Structure 1
Amino acid sequence: MIGEPLGADGLSATLWRERRQLELLNFRLETQLLYLGTGKTQWLTFTSADLEAVLEKLRFETLARNVEAAAVAAEWGVPGEPDLPRLAAAAPEGIWGELLLDHRRDMSLLLQHIQSAIEANREALKSALEGVARDLDAVASSPEPADELSVLARQANAAHALAVVENCGQPLVAEFLGATE
């Protein structure tokens, strides 16, 4: 009937949307890393904004997944805050247990890729910040007029990008998957 909870169907659909956002987060992290690898730090404002947009959508999908999981847990008699392994174990006969475990496996793999991309971005951004610090030292000691403001803007963009990358971890997703990030 219209308006009734979708149960396991709704949970699975929500998990697919959440997986899509995790894939997009990984893509955005890898894209930023490619720009950093070529020294094109002028694009950090855009790559950071892209990451922030994905993180916002991912927060919404995580909330929606929690609502769906709670409804399925109530339907299947799973007490407390359900995680994906507990839901899969409580699934009725049929495909649901296997499907939920497939979601868990694929999402766990995505989280591993995301964590690797976070670490690589962190290192590349720290290197970029070190380069900017050297540029600031050169500007300060140079007798030639230099554009100190542009160097400071690069420093601010790299620092902001690093702060965004530091927020890309997904501990709530990892917790739901029954894993630690």
Structure 2
Amino acid sequence: MKIFYSAASPFVRKTMIVAEELGIVDRIERLPAAASPVSRDRTIIPFNPLGQVPTFMTDDEQVLFDSKVICEYLNDKFGGKLFGDEHTRWSVLTDHAAADGVIAASLLVRYELLARPEALQWNEWIDGQTDKITTGLQYFEDKAATLEDRIDIVTITLACAFDYLDFRLPDFNWQKRFPALKAWYDKFSVRPSIATTRPK
């Protein structure tokens, strides 16, 4: 198995945490990539027309892209239980979408601040995406008690969201704004798959 890899990407990180939790991370070859919304990495495009990471190749040479697809493939292929059972699957997938949305909004803010010249930056866009992060995290703050003792695609994705905010948008200061999530994450973040993949 192979993956186009960027250590700073929260979506790549999510995929690798899933692989770590499933015990197969050492079976995945990491192919260096420099995907960007502006300067696109042309080495990825023959495998993924969007040119994005993560892009994943299975042992039978099937190409998968989008972290949601890759994570679910790995979970199914290697007997994981990260996507709930027949009773919880739809609520898990819905919460996964909410946590993924927080990451996506964070990336859009980061791109606006990094890729767009300062004179052309759109403050209303930044405010709108920042509000999406806020309401997304409030959704989980209100149900933080349900996260206890869970290791699944939702808690993994939230971990990636929190650490990406700390890494790229520290002024958002989610820890002070969402104390129940902070209390939960202080315990969850010592898990080896989380601690060893944190962006630096």
TM-score bin, normalised by smaller chain: 0.3 to 0.5
TM-score by length of 1: 0.41
Structure of greater Rg: 1
Give the structure with the higher percent strand. Answer: 2
TM-score by length of 2: 0.38
Give the structure with the higher percent helix. Answer: 1
Larger RCO of the pair (alpha carbons < 8 Å, separation 6+): 1
